[in-house]
């Protein structure tokens, strides 16, 4: 498909008897920020290494920008950051100059200036060994973006960062995506943080891709709702309808509302004054983390 940047089909990786990836089929659409979510050891880094050619898959197919036979050539259109490593005694500019030479990038001065400004390291003259973790990660992103790749792979870019570092990294990624129009795939075990930037999600656990879901679909699963339990459901639903409130669902003796959550006092008063027995009325919200845990537990049990 023309709008597919990266696809894996039944990708499997074994280390001896250990199944690190179990038939992973994943699709990245062009221009997406794809959040790969999984606990530590779930298979995220192994998947990235197979995609980048740093590890050889045991089985399965990888397709990059429509190419699946000559992957080495296709991978030249990709940039990646997995455990960013640079020369400790060189400053950001010198390290990127070296990488430009390795990647045979011309007009490297313009390229380096652009990227250092993007990751907010253009004024830093200190050697890499003096950097904070956040600075190291940002330089890693600059290195991944050298050569204007169409697909950018970032492995745990916020792992270990303090709150301010996480905020800075989020803004760098958003800026990079806006300015480059590249497709990003970013791994993390922190779903709530990826939720602020990702357009698509894949949930992985024990080497199995449990689900792919869009940002909009994910939030439909995690909506807040008002749970109402009364003795006469038919009368309650009519009263709510007359108040302009449509029920999202009726489950046994419980009504679920997904709108007008701020009018719980009015709803309670109206139901009671109409002669209904109000057994329960409370707000309910499935958080992103709870959704992920339920998905993982379901996958483990299934």
Q: Can you give the residue range of the structural domain that contains 267?
A: 224-285
Strand partners, 23: none
The count of structural domains within the chain is 2
Assess whether 112 and 253 both reside in one domain: no
pLDDT tens-digit map of 208-245:
999 999 999 988 777 777 888 888 888 888 888 888 88
Q: Does a structural domain hold residue 301?
A: no
pLDDT tens-digit map of 37-69:
999 999 999 999 999 999 999 999 999 999 988
Examine the pLDDT at 171 and tell me if it is beyond 70.
yes
Q: Does a structural domain hold residue 152?
A: yes
The whole-number pLDDT of residue 294 equals 83
- Entry pTM: 0.80
Which of the listed residues 175, 192, 219 is the one where a domain comes to its end? 219
List, edge to edge, every strand of the sheet that includes 33-37: 78-81, 151-155, 183-188, 33-37, 200-205, 208-214
The whole-number pLDDT of residue 196 equals 92
List, edge to edge, every strand of the sheet that includes 278-285: 249-251, 254-257, 224-230, 278-285
DSSP type of residue 67 = B
Assess whether 138 and 280 both reside in one domain: no
Assess whether 162 and 245 both reside in one domain: no
The whole-number pLDDT of residue 24 equals 97
Examine the pLDDT at 2 and tell me if it is beyond 70.
no
- Look up the CATH number of the domain holding residue 150: 3.40.50.300
- Alpha helix (H) ranges present in 85-187? 92-103, 108-118, 133-145, 163-180
Examine the pLDDT at 295 and tell me if it is beyond 90.
no
Q: Does a structural domain hold residue 296?
A: no
Assess whether 30 and 73 both reside in one domain: yes
Q: Does a structural domain hold residue 294?
A: no
- Look up the CATH number of the domain holding residue 269: 3.30.70.270
Cβ neighbourhood burial of 195 (10 Å; 0-12, 13-18, 19+): middle
Examine the pLDDT at 302 and tell me if it is beyond 50.
no
Cβ neighbourhood burial of 204 (10 Å; 0-12, 13-18, 19+): buried
Assess whether 46 and 107 both reside in one domain: yes
Assess whether 18 and 78 both reside in one domain: yes
Assess whether 96 and 143 both reside in one domain: yes
């Amino acid at each position: 498909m023309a709008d597919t940047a990266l696809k894996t089909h039944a990708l499997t990786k074994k280390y001896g008897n250990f199944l690190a990836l179990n038939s992973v089929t994943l699709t990245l659409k062009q221009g997406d920020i794809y959040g790969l979510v999984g606990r530590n050891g779930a298979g995220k880094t192994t998947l990235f290494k197979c995609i980048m050619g740093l590890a050889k898959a045991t089985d399965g197919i990888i397709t990059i920008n429509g190419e699946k036979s000559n992957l080495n050539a296709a991978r030249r259109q990709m940039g990646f950051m997995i455990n960013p490593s640079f020369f400790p005694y060189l400053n950001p500019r010198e390290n990127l100059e070296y990488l430009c030479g390795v990647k045979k990038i011309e007009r490297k001065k313009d390229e380096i200036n652009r990227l250092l400004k993007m990751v907010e390291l253009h004024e830093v003259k200190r050697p890499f060994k003096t950097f904070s973790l956040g600075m190291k990660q940002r330089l890693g992103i600059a290195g991944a973006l050298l050569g204007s790749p169409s697909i950018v792979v970032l492995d745990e870019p916020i792992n270990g960062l303090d709150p301010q570092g996480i905020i800075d990294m989020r803004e760098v990624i958003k800026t990079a995506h806006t300015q480059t129009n590249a497709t990003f795939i970013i791994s993390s075990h922190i779903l709530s943080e990826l939720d602020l930037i990702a357009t698509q999600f894949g949930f992985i656990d024990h080497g199995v891709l449990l689900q792919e879901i869009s940002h909009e679909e994910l939030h439909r699963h995690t909506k807040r709702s008002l749970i109402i339990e009364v003795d006469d459901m038919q009368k309650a639903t009519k009263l709510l309808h007359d108040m302009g409130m449509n029920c999202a669902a009726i489950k046994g003796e419980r009504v679920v509302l997904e709108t007008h959550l701020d009018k719980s006092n009015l709803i309670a008063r109206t139901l009671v004054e109409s002669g209904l027995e109000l057994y329960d009325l409370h707000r309910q919200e499935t958080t992103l983390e709870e959704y992920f845990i339920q998905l993982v537990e379901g996958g483990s049990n299934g």
